């Protein structure tokens, strides 16, 4: 079975131009072939911070359900907060996971019925009453953001653009993160749906995803030929993938690869912490001048469980983000927003 390539970020950060070029070459190769890779030696995300973040996740999920529901996502027009097991749907199936969604802590916009709904994604988070949780999760999200910014520089070089080409995406980025638990099937109190999946096949809609998974496994990546590849946990490695924004920007040269998580049959919990790096919601997604030689090596006949009509590649990034979140969390969307004539608008009268 194919395995994903392992990239070493210390090469890109070294003083040697040859090492840096080697990293960019490996990155380009990985993205063209898989859209996914492992990353080791990311300095901002120390093993201590990884452990601390996973321990905080474990402490949260050990809380009684009524405590977790105090920060339920339905309270938040910004799609932030806790979703209980089975509350989320991906690719028409129920996901067998529970999770908290976070984003950059920014003030909420003053929404009117004229404002684009995606501006409603800006806003505060909901934090549980778990000592140290908030500080650790913020520290973790910032550390992953640093990795993403570094990788964006490498991706820019790989597209023959200036290293700082994507620096504009760092201005008030729409970074999101999830704290996720996949309970084992047959668990005494949780009842995962046997016909669901941990999370169904999907593409991430933004720029780059930085994922830390524990040692349980279950993440799979769909190769360009449609065959699923295990992205099994490797000690000291994160898993990185590109999202649909790159697919649009590069005219399908850098394809956002479909991935899923299988039902957890390990007998113990699986925890994962994905961070999604994206530009400001109001960003117009540029169509890049992709070099001819890269256009010529575009993956052909890509076999994908996510069909063309499910793609989220709107000209404004926030539109894709909003539609992605409203598809995964329809109850939250319909509480806070109305949908008329293919346009989402905030229900300004809706309150908590
Ligand atoms: O938990 C994982 O391993 C992957 C999660 C994922 O793909 C997502 O939340 O977008
Ligand atoms: Fe994903």
By the CB criterion, residues less than 5 angstroms from ion ligand 2 are 204
Distance CA 80, CA 176 (A): 9
CA 257–ligand 1 middle distance (angstroms): 12
pTM of the model: 0.96
Around 209, how many Cα atoms within 13 Å sit in the side-chain half-sphere? Answer: 26
Q: What angle do CA 8, 286, 337 make, to 5 degrees?
A: 100
Judged by DSSP in three states, 109 sits in coil
Kindly indicate the confidence band of residue 350, based on its pLDDT and cuts at 50, 70 and 90: low
Nearest CA to ligand 1 atom 8: 274
What pLDDT, in 10s, does the model give residues 149-189? 999 999 999 999 999 999 999 999 999 999 999 999 887 77
Of 175, 196, 219, 220, the one to substitute when testing ligand 1's pocket (max ligand atoms within 8 A of C-beta) is 219
**What's the complex ipTM?**
0.99
Distance CA 77, CA 322 (A): 11
Phi, psi dihedral angles at 27 (to 5 degrees): -65, -45
Judged by DSSP in three states, 4 sits in coil
Of 211, 240, 278, the one to substitute when testing ligand 1's pocket (max ligand atoms within 8 A of C-beta) is 211
Of 87, 97, 178, the one to substitute when testing ligand 1's pocket (max ligand atoms within 8 A of C-beta) is 178
Nearest atom within ligand 1 for CA of residue 198: 1
User: What residue ranges in the chain does DSSP mark as E strands?
Assistant: 6-8, 36-40, 81-83, 89-90, 93-94, 98-103, 176-182, 199-202, 208-213, 219-222, 228-230, 237-242, 259-261, 270-277, 337-340, 343-346
Ligand 1 binding pocket (C-beta < 6 A) is 178, 180, 199, 204, 211, 213, 219, 259, 261, 272, 274
Contact partners, residue 309, CB within 8 Å, separation at least 6: none
Residue given tokens 């690719």 in the structure block: 91
Task: Locate 210 and state its tokens.
Answer: 């930085």
What pLDDT, in 10s, does the model give residues 117-137? 999 999 999 999 999 999 999
Distance CA 319, CA 315 (A): 8
């Amino acid at each position: 079975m194919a395995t994903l390539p392992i990239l070493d970020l210390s090469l890109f950060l070294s003083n040697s131009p040859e090492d840096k070029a080697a990293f960019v070459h490996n990155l380009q190769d990985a993205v063209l072939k898989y859209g996914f890779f492992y990353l080791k030696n990311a300095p901002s995300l120390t093993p201590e911070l990884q452990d601390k973040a996973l321990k905080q996740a474990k402490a949260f999920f050990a809380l009684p359900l009524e405590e977790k529901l105090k920060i339920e996502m339905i309270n938040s027009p910004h799609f932030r907060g806790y979703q209980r097991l089975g509350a989320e749907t991906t690719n028409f199936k129920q996901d067998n996971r529970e999770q908290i969604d976070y984003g950059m802590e920014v003030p909420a916009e003053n929404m009117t019925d004229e404002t684009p709904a995606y501006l409603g994604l800006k806003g505060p988070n909901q934090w549980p009453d778990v000592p140290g949780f908030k500080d650790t999760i913020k520290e973790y999200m910032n550390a992953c953001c640093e990795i993403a910014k570094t990788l964006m520089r490498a991706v820019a070089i790989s597209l023959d653009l200036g290293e700082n080409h994507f620096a504009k995406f760092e201005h008030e980025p729409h970074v999101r993160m999830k704290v996720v638990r996949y309970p084992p099937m047959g668990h005494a109190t949780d009842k995962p749906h046997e016909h669901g999946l941990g999370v169904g096949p999907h593409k991430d809609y933004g720029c780059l995803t930085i994922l830390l998974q524990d040692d349980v496994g279950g993440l799979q990546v769909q190769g360009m030929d449609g065959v699923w590849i295990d992205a099994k946990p490797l000690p000291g490695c994160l898993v990185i993938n590109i999202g649909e924004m790159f697919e649009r920007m590069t005219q399908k040269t850098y394809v956002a690869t479909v991935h899923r998580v299988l039902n957890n049959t390990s007998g113990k919990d699986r925890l994962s912490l994905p961070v999604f790096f994206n530009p400001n919601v109001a960003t117009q997604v540029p169509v890049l001048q992709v070099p001819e030689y890269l256009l010529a090596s575009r993956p052909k006949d890509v076999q994908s469980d996510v069909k063309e009509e499910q793609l989220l590649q709107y000209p404004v990034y926030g539109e894709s983000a909003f539609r992605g979140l409203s598809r995964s969390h329809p109850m939250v969307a319909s509480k806070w927003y109305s949908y008329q004539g293919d346009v989402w608008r905030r229900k300004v009268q809706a309150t908590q």
